[in-house]
Structure 1
């Protein structure tokens, strides 16, 4: 009897539809594609300083309830015209959660919140939600975590992110070089900026690597590089990095590397000390920098939901509070509107100051 040396720890296998099959099942029409293409163009202009508005990526820490997510998207659409002269609002639509140890891994992996892990259903729900957001005219953003799942939905994103735990990954850097959307790299949890700066440099280069095609076949991809990547400051082990001094240090590191010299501020995570309520304080500090004439900040990230705080997933999913996060705590909708209005006022004030010969950067 031959010695078995393969698949010793595989408990089971199941087929997924190919990316092309899922695209056909949940297609993006011409109107939705036009929204995405236009939004990407606006994001690119902001990243490169051609548009002086501020991009604000706001939404739930992670999506677990499609109905609540669509209600949030509807509210964001209604809020956008009031601040459109100063802000570009992009909804945070995160489906995958990196875990240091154990925990819920996100809608794609566990859409029913019961631990069964129906990934086919998760991909279907994720893609359907992104198409619905585009149908509402709301640009969508997500973290690119897995190396396979983006083939199922990434063409629907207006902006993407590489998280703090994967910024150093060579695989994620080369994958970023292939993405059609602009993308931000977060500084790692250590807070070390050079890691993220290096990632941006690498992602802008051409790469050749194995992947899967839309038909589910193993292929070799050759990329042209992504010139629309930028740095996200999210704080680190040594503390927050959203102050004017931290922003200046980051811009200098980017200048030294010869890449886009504007940054995004993540108001959550280490910048808020893990307290969702402090996001408004971070945003207020950033707003003051912008009102003072700074052009170094291209955008902010907020973890925001219909209901503030967080709840623990356990027992019957039907008993969960509607519109409240099951992962990181989020500020509520009313607080979110207040932050958006403050940021819009800051952009307008910064414009007036620069027009008067103020300290534009």
Structure 2
């Protein structure tokens, strides 16, 4: 692992200054602005050009101009820079091997949604010990993503906290809006101003109505409250994002990737006037939260695509070096997720190679 990245795991850009409010109910700790962190950890011109090229490639897949399958794959969340970089190196090699059939994009998720409480991700608590050094977390995450970019990989992440997005938006080629935030006006406004393809997940009930509304909203221009790169409150003026699409992740009623469910989704999208370009999340409710069932979901979706459903343009897999998950503790296993359970690397590599072979064979017929 890069020595500078190791050092960053215990340093911060600025010393946070705590200020309590008049009622003593909370305290604020000043963080670096987006501009300041980007100045400290800039993106070299050749990597900026790489990010632009990857965004264009994803747009081409979404629009049907590129016949490859988009595959967003990687750890449920990044928690250990060493294992994350090892995974990225593995994926980079596989991406080159399969580039004729698939565009592999690495999950670089540094924020995690929580229904109640729990570890919120590497950007929030980089040492996994409850100290919540967010300044250090932002610095670590940005440098880690730069290291991944240097391997030639496109990166994907979920935008959870809108104020955090500006720290990483120049590094990402694809962004997700989660099931619990797809309905949020704030996230729709944010997506409308991102120059990045955005996938909106269906609601937790499994229906796609909320996601349809989100895509239509994000496609329009907005003026909304926000923060400028220097950290000042600002009115943000967006132009609208034409590069949004639906992510099917199942819901409380079960999976929604099967042929019957996808046919209903086509009907719902057409009724809403939204173009059918669909990613299937092979995890979450679609796999019954069993990571080892992801290959079955992947194979089913791939077969639907091979049978002629070209709206199925992408899939997502949660995968790490080792399968399963583990709680955060003082004795954690290397390369095992600390959030959702993941497919192991060996099984992931086999699945993607086999999938690419099926796509290649169909193209040759």
Question: Under a length normalisation based on structure 2, what TM-score does the superposition of the two structures give?
Answer: 0.92
**Is residue 200–residue 229 contact of structure 1 (8 Å, CA) maintained in 2?**
yes
Q: How does 1:349-360 map to 2 (within 5 A)?
A: 349-352=361-364
Q: CA deviation at 1:350?
A: 4.0
2:84 is the counterpart of 1:72 = no
**Is residue 293–residue 350 contact of structure 1 (8 Å, CA) maintained in 2?**
no
- Residue number in structure 1 paired with 2:52: 37
- Residue number in structure 1 paired with 2:187: 172
2:333 is the counterpart of 1:321 = yes
2:347 is the counterpart of 1:332 = no
Q: CA deviation at 1:351?
A: 3.1
- Residue number in structure 2 paired with 1:293: 308
Q: Deviations over 1:197-249 (max 9, x none)?
A: 11101000000001111111111011000000000000001110111222222
- Residue number in structure 2 paired with 1:193: 208
Of 274, 283, 286, which aligns to 1:268?
A: 283
- Residue number in structure 2 paired with 1:255: 270
Q: CA deviation at 1:133?
A: 1.4
Q: CA deviation at 1:293?
A: 2.7
Q: Deviations over 1:128-184 (max 9, x none)?
A: 111111111100000000010111111210000000110111111111101111010
Separation in 1 of the partners of 2:114 and 2:29? 24
- Residue number in structure 1 paired with 2:17: none
- Residue number in structure 2 paired with 1:357: none
- Residue number in structure 1 paired with 2:105: 90
2:296 is the counterpart of 1:284 = no
Q: How does 1:156-235 map to 2 (within 5 A)?
A: 156-235=171-250
**Is residue 292–residue 350 contact of structure 1 (8 Å, CA) maintained in 2?**
no
Q: Structure 1 residues 103-112 or 282-291, which shifts more?
A: 282-291
2:357 is the counterpart of 1:345 = yes
Separation in 2 of the partners of 1:30 and 1:183? 24
Q: Structure 1 residues 291-300 or 341-350, which shifts more?
A: 341-350
Of 169, 179, 182, which aligns to 1:154?
A: 169
Q: CA deviation at 1:269?
A: 0.3
Q: 1:41 to 1:198 in 2, by over 3 A?
A: same
2:40 is the counterpart of 1:25 = yes
Determine helix, strand or coil for the equivalent of 1:153.
Answer: coil
Separation in 2 of the partners of 1:349 and 1:123? 44
Determine helix, strand or coil for the equivalent of 2:189.
Answer: helix
Of 97, 100, 103, which aligns to 2:115?
A: 100
Q: Deviations over 1:286-342 (max 9, x none)?
A: 12112223212111000000011111112x2xx211111000000000100111123
**Is residue 62–residue 94 contact of structure 1 (8 Å, CA) maintained in 2?**
yes
- Residue number in structure 2 paired with 1:114: 129
Divergent runs of 4+, >6 A = none
- Residue number in structure 2 paired with 1:356: none
Separation in 1 of the partners of 2:294 and 2:60? 26
Structure 1 unaligned segments of length 5 or more: list them. Answer: 1-5, 354-361
How many aligned positions are there? 345
Determine helix, strand or coil for the equivalent of 2:93.
Answer: helix
2:251 is the counterpart of 1:236 = yes
Determine helix, strand or coil for the equivalent of 2:266.
Answer: helix
Q: CA deviation at 1:7?
A: 4.8
**Is residue 48–residue 260 contact of structure 1 (8 Å, CA) maintained in 2?**
no
Structure 2 unaligned segments of length 5 or more: list them. Answer: 1-20
Q: CA deviation at 1:352?
A: 4.4
Q: CA deviation at 1:276?
A: 0.7
